[in-house]
Amino acid sequence: MHVTVAGKQVETGEALKTHVTDGLAAVTAKYFDHALEANVTFKRDRAFFGCDINLKAGRGLYVRAEGEGTDAHRAFDIAAEHLGKRLRRYRRRVNEHARSLAERERPQAARQMILRHEAPLGAEEVEEPELTGESAAIVAEQPTEIALLSVGEAVMRLDLAQAPLLMFRNQQTREINVIYRRADGNIGWIDPDGK
């Protein structure tokens, strides 16, 4: 597993990097044989240290955990404990659905793009620009998948990645659905079938 350790106003010495590498290896070995990469960022907030872990546990599975402590080692230990709980819950759910996984269809291939608005020469800036091919430039493009999931599994993936939204193909209706985190903290679900 490739581990990147960075600090924002925090010195990341060899002892801390070794502690992070060994800790992540121990946590991920319990639940996944081959975690791909991890980015660990330390920051300092007045009297506390913060640790943010972003782990790519497998293809299409991203897990994020945070922790605070009186020193960087303690902040990492708390974040790693949080990461372990999330991985354990995910692994338990995967094991419960193992029989149905073999019968599922492959995820649908898609492209994810990040667009930057660019006003045409001589045009005035509008309040809400329409992102079309003429007024937007593609900043980044990467392949992604639209997985066939139940709503519960989609919510689990949204929580694991701590993402603002997730598009998936509903396992029951086979329609494209979207779940998103609302401002009040609840989960919103857009189902075009509406049944």
Residue extents of the structural domains in the chain: 2-96, 105-190
- Residues 116 and 120: their CA atoms lie apart, in Å, by 13
Q: Taking a C-beta distance cutoff of 8 angstroms, is the pair 74, 82 a contact? A: no
Long-range (24+ apart) CB contacts under 8 A made by 3-6 are 3/37, 3/38, 3/40, 4/37, 4/38, 4/39, 4/40, 5/40, 5/42, 6/39, 6/40, 6/41, 6/42
14-31 vs 72-96: helix crossing angle, rounded to 10: 10
pLDDT tens track for 15-67: 989 998 998 888 888 877 677 788 999 998 888 999 999 988 777 778 899 99
Q: What global pTM score does this model have?
A: 0.52
Instruction: Please say whether the structural domain 105-190 has been given the CATH code 3.30.505.50.
Output: yes
Burial class of residue 70, CB neighbours in 10 A (0-12, 13-18, 19+): exposed
Per-residue pLDDT of the chain (195 residues; tens, 9 = 90+): 788 888 887 888 899 899 989 988 888 888 776 777 889 999 988 889 999 999 887 777 788 999 999 988 999 999 999 998 888 888 777 766 665 655 556 666 777 666 676 655 555 554 554 555 556 777 878 888 888 899 999 999 998 888 899 999 998 888 999 999 999 989 999 998 766
d(CA 109, CA 124): 37
| CATH match for 2-96 among 3.20.20.70, 1.25.40.10, 3.40.50.300, 3.30.160.100 | 3.30.160.100
Measure CA of the first residue to CA of the last residue in the chain; give whole Å. 43
Residue 86 neighbours by CB under 8 Å, 6+ apart: 63, 65, 160
Please tell me the distance from the alpha carbon of residue 57 to that of residue 27, in angstroms, as a whole number: 11
- Spatial separation of the C-alpha atoms in residues 11 and 9, rounded to whole Å: 7
